[in-house]
Chains A and B, each alone.
Chain A
Amino acid sequence: MSWTLLLALGGASYALKAVGPVLVGGRELGPRVRRTLDLVAVPLLAALILVQTVGTGHRFVLDARVPALAVAAVLVSRRAPFLVVVLAAGGTAALLRAFG
């Protein structure tokens, strides 16, 4: 593994993060831009949830992650604390894999 590539990835990652805070920081954006940006995290999070639950590489794989997410969904709807949600999901998957 080359250090040069690793540092390049670090630089690219930082540059992407810094576009907003450095170039726009503190200024108000127009209502249309605001409305769009308010929603930015929503489809990305929804996609991350699904891809990380049923995706393995380029394939769909249904395994212990699915019931684990179901447990998480029940806990979220009952407004359980964040850490409880995360640990319960991990525990569900671990138990199912140990006995499944």
Chain B
Amino acid sequence: MRIAVGRTSSQPLSGAAGIGIAVGVYGVSFGVLAVAAGLSPAQACVMSMLVFTGASQFAFIGVLAGGGGALAAIGPAVVLAVRNAAYGLSLAPILPGRLRDRAIVAQLVIDESTAMARAQDEPRAARRAFLATGLSVWLCWNAGTLVGALLGGGLGDPRSLGLDAMFPAAFLALLAPQLRRPGAPVAAVVGATIALVVLPFAPAGVPVVAALAGVVPGGLVAKNVKAMSERASQARRGG
């Protein structure tokens, strides 16, 4: 295994295990909350296996717990899952192979596996990081859901354990190495600003999807940075 000192998320295997454990803890709280919201333990477990995208699942049971029907709950859950389509497209070049294999690994396309893959410098490492993180998160998320669903309310309030504070921290650790890309800081600031402006009135899940528009100014900056560095290297060669 390559040891890249100081770049947490470029160590695919230890990073994958670390993310898995954190997600497992969160999976326990999902199981607890899902059962509290009216799902049977079997439904909670099947949901984690098939839907397998934490933010959507939390949004779904959140609407149920708030008194909304299952039909009302499905909208925000699907909207939140839309970002996985963008992730899948961005991962497509590093996922070669037979259609059947690609169809299977597609289920592993989530925030964590995408961020981990994107933090790698070359395609083979990115593919390994994607698979290791995706599998680790899938196993831990489902194991956690099972434990939580069986524990039911016995665990207490997930907030008192600080579980809700773990996810922003995890996303921050995943975001940090990507901010070195040209245009990324602009994309982050614009995206976050859009989300905050939209949050008070848009349905759950929409603010995060709306933030996707941040790639437009980010992409423009990246293009200019590339053009500038090309001009600079031409000037060096010429002069």
Query: Hey, which bits of chain A sit against chain B, CB under 8 A?
Result: 1-3, 5-14, 16-29, 32, 34-55, 57-60, 64-65, 68-69, 71-73, 76-77, 79-83, 85-95, 97-98
Does B200 make an interface contact (CB < 8 A)?
Answer: yes
* Given A50-B195, A83-B21, also A9-B47 (CB < 8 A): yes
Total of A-B residue pairs, C-beta within 8 Å: 334
Q: Output the least CB separation between B230 and chain A (Å).
A: 12
How far is B109's CA from A70's CA once the two chains are assembled, in angstroms?
29
Picked from A41, A77, A85, A98, the residue with its CB within 8 Å of the CB of B170 is A85
A46 touches B189 (CB 8 A): yes
Does B213 make an interface contact (CB < 8 A)?
Answer: yes
Picked from A19, A20, A83, the residue with its CB within 8 Å of the CB of B18 is A83
Does B232 make an interface contact (CB < 8 A)?
Answer: no
A-B contact pairs, 11 of them (CB 8 A): A1-B70, A12-B74, A14-B106, A25-B96, A39-B215, A42-B215, A45-B175, A48-B167, A65-B168, A94-B160, A97-B159
Tell me which residues across on chain A come within 8 A of B159, comparing CB atoms.
93, 97
Number of chain B residues whose Cβ lies closer than 8 Å to a Cβ of chain A: 109
**Chain B's interface: helix, strand, loop or mixed, by majority?**
helix
How far is B214's CA from A14's CA once the two chains are assembled, in angstroms?
25
Picked from A12, A20, A36, A91, the residue with its CB within 8 Å of the CB of B88 is A20
Picked from B96, B107, B209, the residue with its CB within 8 Å of the CB of A26 is B96
**Chain A's interface: helix, strand, loop or mixed, by majority?**
helix
| Minimum CB distance partner of B188 in chain A | A46
B160 touches A25 (CB 8 A): no
B90 touches A89 (CB 8 A): no
B218 touches A49 (CB 8 A): no
Type the 1/0 row for B173-194, where 1 means its CB is closer than 8 Å to any CB of A.
Answer: 1111011010110011111101
